[in-house]
């Protein structure tokens, strides 16, 4: 199998090694038959947004060039298959309540690929809760009840669990009352309800929200969480189901590859990996792209899918508008740390835990059983008490063992904070940032469209769903403007 230069792999025998195998790596890495042609559209970035956009434009007859800085597709979502088991480096879980991603799973006949991350049938069937209030284990029923109670207090700004202030998750400002919470941080919201939170509840809600935001309680906006909650039908169980329960047997890269292959089969897709873009010039009639290695490409339209935290690395002429520049300089807060560990004991399959706030990893959860019979666990940290998992592997192993005694046979991870094409994980805004900049981030500049889950207009912004939505919309706009294949005039 191809290997990506991205990702990290550690075993006791090999030590830490850079690069992991992945079907997301595309070979040959470049296929451009007529590089001097004017393309109908150039898509920058081969994450789900760019893959969807390039698929939809190429299959509708538009000559499309897909440029990607990495050696692989998938952006912040990709999987590595090691010894027959798929490890998800980034985006993982999906659900049929996420319309855009589910429509694609259904369309590609992949619904049977959905598997359950949870299995409570094994011996170590409990939840470890180690906080400033002490250490103990509890049942998963007690865990769910504690977290549901705490999260419900957190979102209950209106006495109706958020339903009144945000009745439409996909149209978050429908009720203008919600704007009262625009500048509220997670820490400030917790302060508002602290009189009503037990110590356990406070640790539970902080750990859970930090798992979602990847930031700190001070720099994470409350509003993003309220939207997730609304999208998940104002229900804790449904929220878990939609964000951390159902993953793909074939790995996310098996899914992403379907988009790429469909685009390729159209015969209208050219592409180049390992090709970061340096400059986008739309000051003349056509859009001119200069890559970092000096290649020049021309197109009628451009769909730029660079995420918020790296948007300022591309030079634009004319420059990005003021609001986009401000948002790109501020950046979102998600510096999620995600580490996979193979744990020797197969009975750990039913385990989960929280260690907070003292530990470098906040949440751990058993996620599968490898073909070798090990328990695959996944651990999450955030910007509060951040670590770079690759810099000190003993610190990383220690953070995992803080959850409890475990014999660790393997680690796999991707350091998203150091990733030059992401500089962070899924979007989570700073207080005030969403309301101030979201519209501006979506705004096109002439022939240049900006598409990314980071500013998707749906309930599932920051999810794979938002990426597909954003790519779908951008492709439709381009198609409507270029009208491919039209052989009769419009009636």
Nearer to a second copy, 364 or 458 (CB): 458
The answer to whether residue 99 forms part of the interface with a second copy (CB under 8 A) is yes
Q: According to CB under 8 A, which one of 266, 274, 436, 445 is a site residue for a second copy?
A: 266
**Is 155 labelled a binding residue?**
no
* Least distance (Å) between residue 392 CB and a second copy: 42
The answer to whether residue 480 forms part of the interface with a second copy (CB under 8 A) is yes
The answer to whether residue 486 forms part of the interface with a second copy (CB under 8 A) is yes
* Least distance (Å) between residue 345 CB and a second copy: 27
CB within 8 A of 325, min separation 6: which ones? 312, 319
Site for a second copy in 16-55 (CB under 8 A): 31, 33
Residue 104 and residue 350: Cα distance in Å, rounded? 31
Q: According to CB under 8 A, which one of 36, 176, 284, 490 is a site residue for a second copy?
A: 490
* Least distance (Å) between residue 300 CB and a second copy: 18
Q: According to CB under 8 A, which one of 30, 37, 103, 325 is a site residue for a second copy?
A: 103
Q: According to CB under 8 A, which one of 2, 5, 83, 106 is a site residue for a second copy?
A: 106
Q: Which residue stretch of 98-106, 153-161, 361-369, 413-421 sits at the interface with a second copy (rule: CB under 8 A)? A: 98-106
For every residue of the chain, which 3-state class applies, written as one string? CCEEEEEEEEECCCEEEEEEECCCECCCCEECCCCCCEEEEEEECCEHHHHHHHHHHHCCCCCEEEECCCCECECCCCEEEECCEEEECCCCCCCCCCHHHHHHHHHCCCHHHEEECCCCCCCCCCEEEEECCEEEEECHHHHHHHHHHHHHHHHCCCCCCCCCCCCCCCCCCCCHHHHHHCCCEHHHHHHHHHHHCCHHHHHHHHHHHHHHHCCCCCCCEHHHHHHHHHHCCCCHHHHHHHHHCEEECCCHHHHHHHHHHHHHHCCCEEEECCCCEEEEECCCCCEEEEECCCCEEEEEEEEECCCHHHHHHCEEECCCCHHHHHHHHHCCCCCCEEEEEEECCHHHHHCEEEEECCCCCCEEEEEEECCCCCEEEEEEECCCCCCCCCCCHHHHHHHHHCCCCCCEEEEEECCCCCCCCCCCCCCCCCCCHHHHHHHHHHCCECCEEECCHHHCCCCCCCCHHHHHHHHHHHHHHHHHHHCCCCCCCCC
Residue 441 and residue 449: Cα distance in Å, rounded? 10
Site for a second copy in 221-240 (CB under 8 A): 233, 238
Q: Which residue stretch of 82-90, 194-202, 217-225, 465-473 sits at the interface with a second copy (rule: CB under 8 A)? A: 465-473
R_g over Cα of the chain = 22
* Least distance (Å) between residue 264 CB and a second copy: 6
The answer to whether residue 169 forms part of the interface with a second copy (CB under 8 A) is yes
Q: Which residue stretch of 69-77, 247-255, 265-273, 436-444 sits at the interface with a second copy (rule: CB under 8 A)? A: 265-273
Q: According to CB under 8 A, which one of 4, 64, 98, 272 is a site residue for a second copy?
A: 98
Q: According to CB under 8 A, which one of 10, 85, 102, 228 is a site residue for a second copy?
A: 102
Residue 358 and residue 354: Cα distance in Å, rounded? 11
Q: In this structure, are residues 79 and 24 in contact, taking their beta carbons and an 8 Å threshold?
A: yes
Nearer to a second copy, 161 or 441 (CB): 161
Q: In this structure, are residues 59 and 268 in contact, taking their beta carbons and an 8 Å threshold?
A: yes
* Least distance (Å) between residue 31 CB and a second copy: 7
Q: According to CB under 8 A, which one of 15, 112, 159, 322 is a site residue for a second copy?
A: 112
The answer to whether residue 159 forms part of the interface with a second copy (CB under 8 A) is no
* Least distance (Å) between residue 268 CB and a second copy: 6
Nearer to a second copy, 394 or 486 (CB): 486
* Least distance (Å) between residue 59 CB and a second copy: 5
The answer to whether residue 162 forms part of the interface with a second copy (CB under 8 A) is no
Q: According to CB under 8 A, which one of 170, 218, 444, 445 is a site residue for a second copy?
A: 170
The answer to whether residue 258 forms part of the interface with a second copy (CB under 8 A) is no
* Least distance (Å) between residue 459 CB and a second copy: 7
Q: According to CB under 8 A, which one of 128, 268, 291, 335 is a site residue for a second copy?
A: 268
**Is 427 labelled a binding residue?**
no
* Residues of the shown chain interacting with a second copy in the complex, contacts defined by CB under 8 A: 31, 33, 59-61, 96-100, 102-103, 106-107, 109, 111-112, 114, 168-171, 233, 238, 264-268, 457-459, 469, 472-473, 476, 479-480, 483-488, 490-491
């Amino acid at each position: 199998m191809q290997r990506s230069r991205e990702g990290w792999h550690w075993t006791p025998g090999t030590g830490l090694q850079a690069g992991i195998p992945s079907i997301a790596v595309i070979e040959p890495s470049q296929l451009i038959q007529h590089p001097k042609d004017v393309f109908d559209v150039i898509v920058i970035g081969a994450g789900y947004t760019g893959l969807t956009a390039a698929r939809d434009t190429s299959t509708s007859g538009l000559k499309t060039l897909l440029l990607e800085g990495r050696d692989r597709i998938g952006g912040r979502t990709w999987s590595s298959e090691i010894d027959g088991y798929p490890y998800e480096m980034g985006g993982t879980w999906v659900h049929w309540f996420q319309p855009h991603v589910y429509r694609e799973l259904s369309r590609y006949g992949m619904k049977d690929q959905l598997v359950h991350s949870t299995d409570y049938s094994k011996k170590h069937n409990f939840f470890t809760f180690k906080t400033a209030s002490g250490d103990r284990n509890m049942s998963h029923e007690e865990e769910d009840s504690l977290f549901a109670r705490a999260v419900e207090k957190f979102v209950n700004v209106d006495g109706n669990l958020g339903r009144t202030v945000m009745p439409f998750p996909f149209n978050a400002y429908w009720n203008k009352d919600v704007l009262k919470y625009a500048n509220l941080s997670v820490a400030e919201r917790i302060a508002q309800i602290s009189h009503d939170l037990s110590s356990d509840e406070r640790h539970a809600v902080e750990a859970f929200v930090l798992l979602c935001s990847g930031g700190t309680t001070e720099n994470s906006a409350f509003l993003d969480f309220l939207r997730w909650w609304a999208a998940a039908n104002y229900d804790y169980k449904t929220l878990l189901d939609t964000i951390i329960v159902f993953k793909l047997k074939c790995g996310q890269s098996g899914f992403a590859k379907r988009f790429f292959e469909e685009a390729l089969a159209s015969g209208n897709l050219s592409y180049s990996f390992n090709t970061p873009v340096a400059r986008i010039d739309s000051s003349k009639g056509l859009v001119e792209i200069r890559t970092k290695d000096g290649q020049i490409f021309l197109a009628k339209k451009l769909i730029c899918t660079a995420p918020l935290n790296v948007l300022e690395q591309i030079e634009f002429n004319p420059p990005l508008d003021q609001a986009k520049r401000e948002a790109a300089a501020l950046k979102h807060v998600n510096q999620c740390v995600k580490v996979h560990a193979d744990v020797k004991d197969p009975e750990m399959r039913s385990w989960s835990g929280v260690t907070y706030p003292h530990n470098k990893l906040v949440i751990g959860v058993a996620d599968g059983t490898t073909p070798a019979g090990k328990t695959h666990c996944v651990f999450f940290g955030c910007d509060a008490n951040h670590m770079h998992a690759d810099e000190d592997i003993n610190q990383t192993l220690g953070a995992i063992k803080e959850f409890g005694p475990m014999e660790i046979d393997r680690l796999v991870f991707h350091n998203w904070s150091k990733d030059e094409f992401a500089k962070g994980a899924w979007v989570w805004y700073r207080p005030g940032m969403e309301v101030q900049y979201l519209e501006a981030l979506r705004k096109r500049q002439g022939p240049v469209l900006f598409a990314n889950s980071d500013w998707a207009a749906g309930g599932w912004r920051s999810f794979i769903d938002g990426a597909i939505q954003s790519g779908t919309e951008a492709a439709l706009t381009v198609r409507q403007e270029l009208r491919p294949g039209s052989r009769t005039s419009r009636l």
